[in-house]
Amino acid sequence: MTCIVGVEYNGRVVIGGDSAGVAGWSVTVRADTKVFRNGAYIMGFTDSFRMGQLLRYSLVPPMPHTWDLDRFMATEFVAAVRDCLRDGGYARNDSGNESGGQFLVGIQGRLYRIDSDFQIGRSVDDYQAVGAGEDFARGSLHTSADQPPDYRVRKALAAAAHHSTDVRAPFHLVWDPDQPVG
């Protein structure tokens, strides 16, 4: 599967991801990254590379236009994601219950977790993690609160790779806004 890690820090967000492509017992280290920018957003995905490709190349995310960013993300942003995944043939519908996949989103210094039922979530902690290595990563993030955010993300991904067969280096990081990919 994977590990995607995000940290909020001083009004900015950094998201990092590993490079594993897992299919059953087979692991491929992928050249295409699981973390990227799409307009003013940064994202990191789990689940399917197809979902990530749709989020990266097909999604035209709306720009926030209100002071209530949580409301905007839960309504307009999620509606755009659902349409994108549905149009791209990725969204699943089981007896009227539509589902997608998990990913992290950074926008305007806030870090959101989008779950497969399209709910948005923000943590009271300054970090989030998703994927097969999320528990290992969260433990590392918890114990490294006094460290710089990019260091925390890299160490959390390394902990996940050490303890999970589904997480592999190299690790890639992306900052919001306008910082180079590390």
Query: What is each CA distance from 71 to 13, 64, 68, 82, 119, in whole angstroms?
Result: 19, 10, 6, 16, 11
- How many structural domains is the chain composed of? 1
The verdict on residue 122 lying in a domain is yes
Evaluate whether residue 119 is within a structural domain: yes
Residue 110 placed within a domain = yes
Residue 15: name the closest of 28, 6, 23 by CA.
6
58-67 mean pLDDT: 94
pLDDT, one tens digit per residue, over 92-113 is: 888 777 888 999 999 999 999 9
Residue 72 resides in a domain: yes
Q: What is the mean pLDDT of residues 52-60?
A: 97
pLDDT at 104: 98
Lowest-confidence pick of 25-29, 143-147, 154-158: 25-29
Q: What is the pLDDT of residue 181?
A: 44
Q: Indicate whether 181 belongs to any domain.
A: no
Residue scoring higher pLDDT (177 or 131): 131
Query: Which of 73, 152, 161, 176 minimizes the C-alpha distance to 118?
Result: 73
Dmax over CA atoms of the chain, in Å, equals 47
pTM recorded for the entire structure:
0.93
Residue 179 has pLDDT above 50, yes or no: no
Domain-located, residue 182: no
Q: Which domain holds residue 152?
A: 3-176
Question: Residue 86 sits in a domain of what CATH number?
Answer: 3.60.20.10
Residue 178 binned pLDDT confidence (cut-offs 50, 70, 90)? low
Q: Looking at residues 125-140, what average pLDDT do you find?
A: 97
Per-chain mean pLDDT for the chain: 93
What confidence score (pLDDT) does residue 7 get?
A: 98
Mean pLDDT of all residues in 128-137: 97
Whether residue 152 is contained in a domain is answered as: yes
Q: What is the mean pLDDT of residues 37-53?
A: 95
The mean pLDDT value for 155-177 works out to: 95
Which pLDDT does position 17 carry in this prediction?
98
154: amino acid identity, one letter = R
Task: Give the count of beta carbons closer than 10 Å to the beta carbon of residue 125.
Answer: 13
Confidence of residue 47 (pLDDT cuts 50, 70, 90): confident
Q: What is the mean pLDDT of residues 22-26?
A: 87
